[in-house]
Structure 1
Amino acid sequence: MPGPSTAELTFYWFHRAIAAYCLMFGVLYWIRLIGFYEGPSWRFDLMPAYWQVAAVTLAALFPFAAIGLWMLASWGPVVWFICAATEAVMYVGFPELFGEKLLIVVSHLCVALVYAAIRLAIYFERRAEERQAV
């Protein structure tokens, strides 16, 4: 049986790269929560309630997504999607509360598009292999 294809290897390494990206986001949320971040009300006890809920949720979920993505677990991309959707709602849906961080939303969208493209490449590759086997 042959090893993984180029598309599958790309998919595995893409998971690992996004795992590092998620870990970075998780660490940044933890930095905000414990007060190392310079800025107004960027310590948990000084944050407004809506920021407390969002920051705690994302500080827990981003590292969890990173673990799932690094292990190539099927739930890793699902947890990442929950994090990305949460940030998209925060920064696009409620910019008056959370600010406008369009770059973060665009980066999540780019990750989703690359993920979908690689998945499609794997699908078409496997489909072509099945046709050759018949």
Structure 2
Amino acid sequence: MLATNEFFARTPSHATPLELTWQWFLRVVATISLGLGILYWIRLIGFYEGAQWRFDLMPVHWQVASVALAVLFPFAASGLWMLASWGPVIWFLCAAIEVGMYLGFPTLFGFHLEILIAHAVVAVAYCTLRVIFFLKSRKEAD
């Protein structure tokens, strides 16, 4: 079993503010992804009352999307939380599925502008941080 000091030693004490920002950003996105995964699971198990909120009552297109996202969002959340390189890839897959659902097929899934904006904000923030890391490493190499 890890001692408390060993557990917290995973994040170096000499981490730069940029690295800490990166870690916090990924963990916030992980928390949101876990919440979205739980919402999809709530939809699948029929915990929430309402039309089409139970798997057996859903149209096929919602069944496919709900099952995929109920599995992928928690998987993305675990990768993001662990700061693994595959975490953002799985999150991007989830975001692409939801963007495809709400933007590509609004007659089937509805149009949820808030979800589209949230995914765009996260993607822009991710790309911005990656560009800053790239420029920093390039500057350090010179």
Q: 2:101: which partner in 1?
A: 90
Q: 1:103: which partner in 2?
A: 114
Q: Number of residues paired by the alignment?
A: 130
Q: What percentage of aligned pairs have identical amino acids?
A: 58
Q: Would you identify which runs of 4 or more consecutive aligned residues in structure 1 move more than 6 Å?
A: none
Q: What letter corresponds to residue 11 of structure 1 in structure 2?
A: W
Superposed CA offset, 1:23-56 (max 9, x none): 0000000111111223211100000011000000
Matched, 1:22 2:39: no
Q: What letter corresponds to residue 109 of structure 2 in structure 1?
A: F
Residues 126 and 3 of structure 1: CA distance in aligned 2, closer, same or farther (over 3 Å):
farther
- Pairing of 1:1-134 with structure 2 (within 5 A): 3-131=14-142
Say which is worse superposed, 87-96 or 119-128, in terms of deviation: 119-128
C-alpha separation in 1, matches of 2:99 and 2:50: 22
C-alpha separation in 2, matches of 1:22 and 1:63: 6
Q: Which has the higher contact order (CA 8 A, sep 6+)?
A: 1
C-alpha separation in 2, matches of 1:21 and 1:118: 19
CA-atom RMSD, angstroms? Answer: 1.2
Q: TM-score, normalised by structure 1?
A: 0.93
Superposed CA offset, 1:83-130 (max 9, x none): 000000000000000011111011001000000111111111122222
Q: What letter corresponds to residue 74 of structure 1 in structure 2?
A: S
Structure 1 unmatched runs, 5+ = none
The alignment partner of 2:83 has SS state of coil
Q: TM-score, normalised by structure 2?
A: 0.88
Structure 2 unmatched runs, 5+ = 1-12
